[in-house]
Amino acid sequence: MTEERSGALTSTSPAADEWWRNAVIYQVYPRSFADGDGDGTGDLAGVRRHLPYLRDLGVDAVWFTPWYLSPLADGGYDVQDYRTIDPAFGTLEEAEALIAEARDLGIRTIVDVVPNHVSAEHEWFRAALAAGPGSPERERFWFRDGKGPGGDEMPTRWESSFQGTTWTRTTDPDGTPGQWYLHLFTPEQPDLNWSSPDVRREHEDVLRFWFDRGAAGIRIDSAALPVKDPALPEVPEGFGPGEHPHLDRDELHDVYRGWRAVADSYAEPRVLVGEIWLPDVQRFAMYLRPDEMHTAFNFDLMTRPWDAKELRAAISATLAAHAPVGAPATWVLSNHDITRPVTRYGREDSSFDFAAKRFGTPTDLALGERRARAAALLTAALPGSLYVYQGDELGLPEVEDLPRDAIQDPMHFRSGGVDPGRDGCRVPLPWTVGGDSHGFSPDGAAPPWLPQPEGWGRWSAEAEAADPASMLSLYRAALALRRSEPGLRSADLSWVELPGASEDVIAFSRGDVVSVTNLGAGPLPLPDDADLLLASAELDDGALPSDASAWYRTTT
């Protein structure tokens, strides 16, 4: 990118057209970012107030998790109406103003689109329930008669991504049990039928609706799930590529080619970012072919433990998978579904696995913080785009002791209370050291929708902005260097072998900038000619301590 930080973005520069290749994208979870109207829930007014903070952090774009009208059965991923902002968050006019104001500060907006399902309160689903079996209204979803006597058995034994079953039985107007409908997530999120032309048309219209309002792109939720095998077979044992009945179906590519055509029809082409969880990197890369998505989240690195061999393998595999399709990699340390890095990296097992989440897993937060700082520099130095989940730039830990009756996440309830769920990374942000809610809401307002723990102000933006050693200061410095150092904007990466370094060191160069991360137990002396740009921990007599990263320029 060549545009200046201040002032409007230019759409004429060819480099600006491909801004997404090297962008820093900040994820806003609107409920928990900042509350402008004092009801205890974050909103668009709160985001607008803090846009200068995002500019100063140095981000290129903001991705908003769903802000649409929603009963919030799954934190907004149960969309009732894409063309209405949920009143808890504000109005459509405010969203338009926010997009424009952000743009004036050089920040683009990415909105979330959820093609796999809608809310059970969506007018289509209500119409489908009312219209009854065999109706065109039911064709937009997966309604089926049950199996067995009286249709009492579910049409398939597919498992929900949120544990449990994937079918719920309806009740006919006369009170008798009716058909079943499919939901890969909660019963409040009925799955759409992508064989229906209505479904396809509607989503392309939704894309246009937001692109016309200035959105620079969309994040595509659960992007490998929407198409189903219409025969609805059971999941075969040891299924091969494209053989799963509801994951990574070949027909999906056609859907995203249609979306790409919509995105490309704008003078400044819009960007598609997929949420794709697939272990097969070749299949993953197929979604990034030049006429499909621009980028997709890379969760490989995020799920790996703090181990040099593992992280190096994730980086190599990611770069190798992206190269043939010409798409940039993305680097993601967390999001609104994942345990915060500071907490995760302080654990004995620092990998991430949804199925392994339990209450009371011990962590060493000081160690986790050191590693999260090192991980921030490691990922910010890699070629491609970088995602920062709100609060990670403050080094917030996961809140693991939320009162049980405060938890709202369906993942918690559907696990029978075994899985703590995802609310621990969604606790409202601290903006100020003091104040009723540490500046999240105006003083005297309703309490935050999730309680903030004791001492939350320690991690506030106010406290950290004043501390040169804080996580916020580290992020600001790193993102500024990412912008100013030509090496960090290039597409290339070369692995570097530092003299005396063990295999616990990850080192690579980008142009004349070297990034080195020391995951070993002892300090690592940096080369004598290293011109230090930034380090995640203080050097000790020219040596990089354990669990730390440094960036330096080579001078010879």
- Report, as residue numbers or ranges, the catalytic residues: 221, 275
Q: Which is nearer to ligand NOJ, 378 or 407 (CB)?
A: 407
Which residue is listed with tokens 């079953």?
Answer: 165
Pattern 416-455, binding to ligand NOJ, x per CB under 6 A? Answer: ----------------------------------------
Q: How far is the CB of 166 from ligand NOJ (least distance, A)?
A: 13
Q: How far is the CB of 245 from ligand NOJ (least distance, A)?
A: 18
Q: Which is nearer to ligand NOJ, 244 or 426 (CB)?
A: 426
Q: How far is the CB of 185 from ligand NOJ (least distance, A)?
A: 5
Q: Which residue is nearest to ligand NOJ (CB)?
A: 77
User: What is the rounded radius of gyration, in angstroms, for the C-alpha atoms of the chain?
Assistant: 24
With CB under 6 A, what is the number of residues at the site for ligand NOJ? 9
Please tell me the distance from the alpha carbon of residue 397 to that of residue 76, in angstroms, as a whole number: 23
Strand partners, 272: 218
Q: How far is the CB of 184 from ligand NOJ (least distance, A)?
A: 8
In the numeric block, which tokens belong to residue 241?
A: 């590529």
3-state SS string for 390-420? CCHHHCCCCCCCCCHHHCCCHHHHHCCCCCC
Q: Alpha-carbon torsion 388, 337, 100, 430, what sign? A: negative
Question: By CB under 6 A, is residue 188 in contact with ligand NOJ?
Answer: no
Nearest CA to 69 among 56, 92, 85, 51? 85
DSSP string computed for 213-280:
TT--EEEETTTTSS---TT-PPPPTT--TT-SSSSS-TTHHHHHHHHHHHHHTSSS--EEEE----S-
Burial of 145 (0-12, 13-18, 19+ CB in 10 A): exposed
Q: In whole angstroms, how far apart are CA 93 and each of 38, 99, 520?
A: 19, 10, 52
Q: Which is nearer to ligand NOJ, 246 or 476 (CB)?
A: 246
Q: How far is the CB of 73 from ligand NOJ (least distance, A)?
A: 10
Q: How far is the CB of 226 from ligand NOJ (least distance, A)?
A: 11
At residue 469's C-alpha, the angle toward residues 467 and 473, to 5°, is: 75
Q: Which of 43, 188, 191, 221 binds ligand NOJ (CB under 6 A)?
A: 221
Q: How far is the CB of 208 from ligand NOJ (least distance, A)?
A: 22
Own/partner pairs for 450-456, CB < 8 Å, 24+ apart?
A: 450/32, 450/399, 450/402, 450/406, 450/408, 450/423, 450/426, 451/402, 451/403, 451/406, 451/427, 452/399, 452/427, 452/428, 453/399, 453/401, 453/427, 456/427, 456/430
Q: How far is the CB of 337 from ligand NOJ (least distance, A)?
A: 5
Q: Which is nearer to ligand NOJ, 74 or 485 (CB)?
A: 74
Q: End-to-end alpha-carbon separation of the chain, Å?
A: 28
Nearest CA to 156 among 132, 184, 195? 184
Contact in structure between 60 and 19 (CB atoms under 8 Å): yes
Q: Which is nearer to ligand NOJ, 184 or 329 (CB)?
A: 184
Q: Which is nearer to ligand NOJ, 74 or 547 (CB)?
A: 74
Nearest CA to 338 among 308, 288, 372? 372
Q: Which is nearer to ligand NOJ, 185 or 508 (CB)?
A: 185
Contact in structure between 448 and 399 (CB atoms under 8 Å): no
Q: Which of 185, 256, 299, 552 binds ligand NOJ (CB under 6 A)?
A: 185
DSSP string computed for 162-198:
TSSBSEEEEE-TTSSEEEEEE-SS-TTSPBB-TTSHH
Q: Which of 77, 167, 181, 551 binds ligand NOJ (CB under 6 A)?
A: 77
Question: By CB under 6 A, is residue 74 in contact with ligand NOJ?
Answer: yes
Q: Alpha-carbon torsion 249, 338, 363, 540, what sign? A: positive
Q: How far is the CB of 241 from ligand NOJ (least distance, A)?
A: 22
Pattern 247-286, binding to ligand NOJ, x per CB under 6 A? Answer: ----------------------------x-----------
Question: By CB under 6 A, is residue 191 in contact with ligand NOJ?
Answer: no
Q: Which is nearer to ligand NOJ, 386 or 535 (CB)?
A: 386
Q: Which of 43, 94, 292, 337 binds ligand NOJ (CB under 6 A)?
A: 337
Q: Which is nearer to ligand NOJ, 74 or 393 (CB)?
A: 74
C-alpha 328: how far from its chain's center?
Answer: 17
In the numeric block, which tokens belong to residue 26?
A: 């900040």
> Pairing mode, if any, of strands 24-28 and 385-389?
parallel
Q: Within 13 Å of residue 369, how many CA atoms lie on the same side as its CB?
A: 16
Q: Which is nearer to ligand NOJ, 396 or 474 (CB)?
A: 396
Question: By CB under 6 A, is residue 392 in contact with ligand NOJ?
Answer: no
Q: Which is nearer to ligand NOJ, 312 or 414 (CB)?
A: 414
Q: How far is the CB of 336 from ligand NOJ (least distance, A)?
A: 6
Question: By CB under 6 A, is residue 222 in contact with ligand NOJ?
Answer: yes
Q: How far is the CB of 223 from ligand NOJ (least distance, A)?
A: 9
Residues 106-165 that bind ligand NOJ (CB under 6 A): 114
Nearest CA to 290 among 326, 263, 329, 328? 326
C-alpha 333: how far from its chain's center?
Answer: 9
Binding site for ligand NOJ (CB under 6 A): 74, 77, 114, 185, 221-222, 275, 336-337
